[in-house]
Amino acid sequence: MAAANAKFIVLIGFFIAVEASLLPHSDKITHLPGQPQVQFQQFSGYLTVDEKKEKSLFYYFVEAEVDPHSKPLVLWLNGGPGCSSIGVGAFSENGPFRPNGQVLLRNEYSWNREANMLYLDTPIGVGFSYSTGSSAYETVNDEITAKDNLVFLQHWFLKFPQYRNSNLFITGESYAGHYVPQLAKLMIQLNNKKTIFNLKGIALGNPLLEFTTDYNSRAEYFWSHGLISDTTYNLFTSGCNYSRYVSEYYRDSVSFICSRIMSEVNRESSRFVDKYDVTLDVCIPSVLSQSKIISPKQNSERIDVCVEDEVTKYLNRRDVQKALHARLIGVRRWDVCSNILDYDMLNLEIPTISIVGSLIKEGIPVLIYSGDQDSVIPLTGSRTLVHGLAKKLGLNTTVPYRVWFEGHQVGGWTQVYGNVLSFATIRGASHEAPFSQPERSFVLFKSFLESRPLPQEF
Ligand SMILES: *[C@@H]1O[C@H](CO)[C@@H](O)[C@H](O)[C@H]1NC(C)=O
Ligand SMILES: *[C@@H]1O[C@H](CO)[C@@H](O)[C@H](O)[C@H]1NC(C)=O
């Protein structure tokens, strides 16, 4: 009898699995307006993470181009806090398409060549994610975001049970230097009771990991790239450093000295130079502005040197929103970075490098990479933090600092500690590395997934 019951349960389980994999999925995207024909499937929609506060998070899921069920699952998060992973990550950086006028162009270096890519608009109030419960947008913080992200993932696996056992990686950039380690920490805590997540590694691009180190690497970066003078560099390091300024700024108490020094820094560095890529002379659309928030602005009126913003136009089309099963709730239009979210900006000061350390101790491999033309979270700060963490954990160098190759050219530099903590730069890349160096970023991503050393020669 018991055996018969067990068989029955197995049978039921089998039917549920068949149903999940064969029947049309309500979140399946049949066709995005203007998209070329592709062989892979796309899904998007909402998952409720809090019934009481009516909080719903929006995701966009792109299956791998070939053989998705044997490929890893990768969650990608953008930062801000408050910027859209769908708008920035999927449609400008490493997703399969980029909007161009009325159509979508294929991104040849889309990360779904190697993985199933899951993009999440988080927290509520970002992109198409929303809450209809009153006052839910007030002072959202890291803790709430991490909890909601965790619930989202749990619910997502109920919707896509076929990916439950896939190797899972969590990736992101900028303020996701907070989101990703904080989420991974909660996942490990759950796993220690009962294995739920098959977490195999995390990768962070130009991440905010430690407030003072990251912010104070800006002065030297500006100075060494000619953005500020010797005199101003001295003031920016001894009179008022950048971490002090940001700290005062978010407490509404900017001192006279900091105000004066920052005016000079801003005057010299000029608002016509993109701080997310100090060397490229191109127009980086305002869509790529996720850290405009972690980098407070001095002038209230900002001049956007870009006339067009393809992603914003595309995602504001009614037919596109319909195809994505997306709704605009509580806002008139879709924005790259949220105007309604009221994030607790003092959370910027929470160090997450120590959480990264605890993940490594749990055996989770970590890659910290850095687009080397970014002055917002410069490579120098990240490199110092990684080196310091390796020392603290007693990890010896396993790959000494060296160049790595993409094709016949140097893709950047790398160093690996204890075969588990990796640092890499991406040469010529901006804050949004996959946007400005898609090919090099793709090589880095592939090596990371395969836990293989970066190409040493061509
Ligand atoms: C930045 O300024 C603060 C406050 O004056 C100081 O405590 C800190 O040591 C400075 N950091 C650096 C890297 O100069
Ligand atoms: C790291 O290197 C030191 C010095 O060579 C050695 O004593 C130590 O055992 C090494 N640690 C590990 C974890 O391999």
Domains, the chain, ranges and CATH?
A: 42-210+347-448 (3.40.50.1820), 213-310 (no CATH)
Tens of pLDDT, residue by residue over 332-348, are: 999 988 989 999 999 99
Q: How far, in Å, are 227, 293, 377, 441 from residue 264 at the CA level? A: 11, 20, 20, 35
The alpha carbon of 244 and the centre of ligand 1 are apart by a number of angstroms equal to: 7
Mean pLDDT of 321-336: 94
- At 167 the three-state DSSP class reads coil
Nearest-angstrom CA–CA distance, 169 and 261: 42
Give the per-residue pLDDT at 143: 97
Give the per-residue pLDDT at 300: 34
Residue 433: partners with Cβ closer than 8 Å, 6 or more residues away? 93, 173, 205, 206, 369, 370, 371, 426, 440, 441
Residue 218 beta carbon below 6 angstroms from any ligand 1 atom: no
Residue 396 beta carbon below 6 angstroms from any ligand 2 atom: yes
Q: The tokens of 122 are what?
A: 């988080």
- At 222 the three-state DSSP class reads helix
List active site positions: 174, 374, 431
pLDDT(6) > 50: no
pLDDT(166) > 80: yes
Count of residues making up the chain: 458
Give nearest CA residue, ligand 1 atom 3.
244
Tens of pLDDT, residue by residue over 338-380, are: 989 999 999 999 999 999 999 999 999 999 999 999 999 999 9
Give nearest CA residue, ligand 2 atom 2.
396
Give the per-residue pLDDT at 29: 97
Give the per-residue pLDDT at 8: 45
Share of the chain above pLDDT 70, in %: 88
Give the per-residue pLDDT at 13: 47
Pocket test residue of 244, 253, 255, 384 for ligand 1, highest count of atoms within 8 A of CB: 244
Measured between alpha carbons, how far apart are the two ends of the chain, in Å?
Answer: 64
Nearest-angstrom CA–CA distance, 275 and 430: 9
DSSP assignment string, 6-47: HHHHHHHHHHHHHHHHHSPPTTB----TTPPP-SS-EEEEEE
Chain mean pLDDT for the chain: 90
pLDDT(173) > 50: yes
Give the per-residue pLDDT at 245: 97
Minimum-distance ligand to the CA of 210?
1
CB atoms within 10 A of CB 400: 8
Tens of pLDDT, residue by residue over 38-63, are: 999 999 999 999 998 899 999 999 99
Give the per-residue pLDDT at 22: 47
Residue 300 beta carbon below 6 angstroms from any ligand 2 atom: no
Nearest-angstrom CA–CA distance, 17 and 31: 25
Residues 403/410, Cβ–Cβ less than 8 Å: yes
Minimum-distance ligand to the CA of 419?
2
Task: Kindly indicate the confidence band of residue 167, based on its pLDDT and cuts at 50, 70 and 90.
Answer: very high
Give the per-residue pLDDT at 458: 79
Give nearest CA residue, ligand 2 atom 1.
396
Phi, psi (rounded to 5 degrees) for 168: -110, 130
Q: DSSP assignment, residue 343? A: B
Residues 386/401, Cβ–Cβ less than 8 Å: no
Identity at 290, one-letter amino acid code: Q
Tens of pLDDT, residue by residue over 241-286, are: 999 999 999 999 999 999 999 999 999 998 778 788 887 654 555 4
Q: The tokens of 251 are what?
A: 């407490």
Of 281 and 18, which is predicted with more confidence? 281
Residue 397: partners with Cβ closer than 8 Å, 6 or more residues away? 390, 415, 416, 417
Share of the chain above pLDDT 90, in %: 80
Longest dimension (CA), the chain: 85
Ligand 2, residue 396: give the atom nearest the CA. 1
pLDDT(21) > 60: no
Of 20 and 401, which is predicted with more confidence? 401
Residue 195 beta carbon below 6 angstroms from any ligand 2 atom: no
The alpha carbon of 353 and the centre of ligand 1 are apart by a number of angstroms equal to: 19
DSSP assignment string, 396-433: PEEEEEEEEEETTEEEEEEEEETTTEEEEEETT--SSH
Nearest-angstrom CA–CA distance, 165 and 160: 11
pLDDT(385) > 60: yes
Residue 216 beta carbon below 6 angstroms from any ligand 1 atom: yes
